[in-house]
Structures are given as C-alpha cells and as structure tokens.
Structure 1
Amino acid sequence: MSSGSWSHEVTAAVPAGQLFKAAMLDWHNLGPKVAPEVIASASVISGDKAVGGIREFKFTPAMPFSYLRERLDFLDLEKFELKNTIVEGGTLGKQVESGTSHFKFEPSGNGCVVKVVASYKLVAGVQDDPSEIAKAKEAVTKHIKAAEAYLLANPTAYA
C-alpha cells in the first residue's frame, strides 16, 4: 500500500477569519446554498463545530461519489486552521484506506491565502492517479471561490 499527499493554495479577496467561518465552520449550511450543483445537502451528525464532531455532505451526480462524512480532528479559531479526516463515504475503502485534510487561512493584504495539505493511504493495488489529484485541487478551489463569491456579495455575512 502506498501513501501520498498533495498541497494546494487558493488566494481570496476576503479576510481570513470571515472566509474560514463561511468555507469551513459553517460550510454544511452555506455549501448547499452556494454550490447546489455539487452539494445536495449537508448536516452535522454529532458535535457541532467541536473537535470530534462529524458532518455529512450528500452530493449531486456532479461528484463521483454520493456522500462523505468527515470528523473534525483539530481546530484553532485564532489561527484559522483545522484538520479533518474522512470517516465514511467518498472513495474510502475503494481507493483510499484513509485520508486527512489540513486547512490554514493566512491573512494576506485585504484578503487571504488558503493553504491545504491532503494526506492519504491508498488501498492495496490502487495506484496514485495525477488526474484524481488535479480534480481534488479543482474541487478545493471551487469550494473556496464559492464561499468567497458569497462573502463579496454579502460583506457583512460571517464578519
């Protein structure tokens, strides 16, 4: 079995704290509103916005899987940073044995830079696929840009 990781950066024209709240902490509420073509619905399964909490996202056919559950493993509200782990759904058990994501929102000028590092272990026999990594990076960019567009249109939201 092999493991790997990838990193990605997205620049946004809104403050780090505001984007962190919208794109990370409240994405289960905002995501279905601003990205309905991808997220059919989302909910908190347990532990709302607390370490150990689990959220579920149900996706439209635009995604290659129907749902994903993630557990919040680390949260720093002052540094706009969090880590989560896939606990069910997605490609878990099919392509990946485990997967984690680390998001950090760093202030930059009037906006911010979102830094993402994803780490994973592949299921035995599955090869790393550069096109899947490219799709994952594109999905992260769309996620951040959807939240940014919402905040630019609604400057007092999540302030």
Structure 2
Amino acid sequence: MGVFSFFHELKTNVSPKRMFKALITNNHDVLPKVSPSIKNIETVQGDGGVGSIKQTNFGDDAHYKYMKNRVDFLDAENYVSKFTLIEGDALGDQLEKICYEMKFEDTKDGGCVIKITSDYHTKGDVVLKEEDINAGKEHAMGLYKACADYLIANPHVCA
C-alpha cells in the first residue's frame, strides 16, 4: 500500500463558521441544494459526531452512485474536520481509502481560507495518475465554490 498526499486551498468571501457548517456539520441540508448531482446525504451510523458514517447518494446522471465517509475528528470551535472516504465507487479498484483534513481559517476581510489535505491510500503498489487526482480535486473545488456562492446568495443559511 502506498500513500499519496496532496494539499490545496481555496479562499472564499464567507466566514469560516458558515463554510464549516455548510460543508461539514450541515452538509446534509446544504450540499443537495448546491449540487444537482447530490441526491441526498444521510447519517447511516452515529449522531454526526466522531465515529459517525455519512453516506452521500448521487443522482442517476452522476459519475458515481454513492460514497461513505467516516468522521474521524471534529472541532467545531476551531473549524477543523478529519474524515475518511471508506466505501463507494469513487475508490475504484485502486484505492483502499482517502483521508481528508479540512481547516477553515479566518481572513482579514471576513472570509476564510479552506485548507485541505488529502491522503490517498492505494491498494498494493498502485501508482496514481496525476490527471485522476486533478479531476477529483477540480470537482471538489467546484463544489466548495458553489457552496460559497450559495451562502452569499442566502445569508440566513448556516448563520
């Protein structure tokens, strides 16, 4: 098994508190409204806190059917979350799991920077292709930007 780590960040004009709520603690309410490919997000185990498992179900026209993420760490005061993609067709036959850490940090203008570390754990001696990683990264960044736009257009959401 190999581990390939990637780091990226995104600046938004939305506060860390609202972005954290929208993408982490209230994602089941917000993300299906933001992305037409997300049918729903349901907690299939636990109460949403550490150890819980959330399943994201995608619509018929989406590239994937579903994925399950386990919540590994949650700090709502400092806006930090760690979670692991443990099941779903996004893992394919090359990945055992993907571990994520997301930090939402204040910026001087009232927005935030989302700092994301992704650790891809491969099966066997698989070597990941950069274009595959970039495609997933671009999709995620598009979702985060769409979420920020939604929050700006709807100031009462996650306030």
Q: Given the two structures, how large is their TM-score scaled by the length of structure 2? A: 0.91
> Residue 91 of structure 1: SS of its match in structure 2?
helix
1:73 matched to which residue of 2? 72
> Residue 43 of structure 1: SS of its match in structure 2?
strand
Cα offsets for 1:98-121 (capped at 9, x unmatched): 211000000102100000000021
1:114 matched to which residue of 2? 114
Q: Which runs of 4+ in 1 moved over 3 A?
A: 60-64, 90-93
Please report the RMSD computed on the Cα atoms of aligned residues, expressed in angstroms. 1.6
Q: Relative to structure 2, which stretch is displaced further, 103-112 or 59-68?
A: 59-68
Unaligned runs of 5+ in 1: none
Matched, 1:58 2:57: yes
1:156 Cα deviation from its structure 2 partner: 2.1
Distance 1:35 1:29 in 2: 11
Q: Relative to structure 2, which stretch is displaced further, 84-93 or 16-25?
A: 84-93
Cα offsets for 1:28-83 (capped at 9, x unmatched): 221111101x2122211122321011110012356542110001000011110000
> Residue 14 of structure 1: SS of its match in structure 2?
coil
CA gap 1:10/1:62 in 2 versus in 1, 3 angstroms: farther
CA gap 1:62/1:81 in 2 versus in 1, 3 angstroms: farther
Cα offsets for 1:9-43 (capped at 9, x unmatched): 0110010011110121111221111101x212221
Distance 1:113 1:41 in 2: 26
Distance 1:72 1:144 in 2: 19
Q: Given the two structures, how large is their TM-score scaled by the length of structure 1? A: 0.91
Unaligned runs of 5+ in 2: none
Amino acid at match of 1:82: S
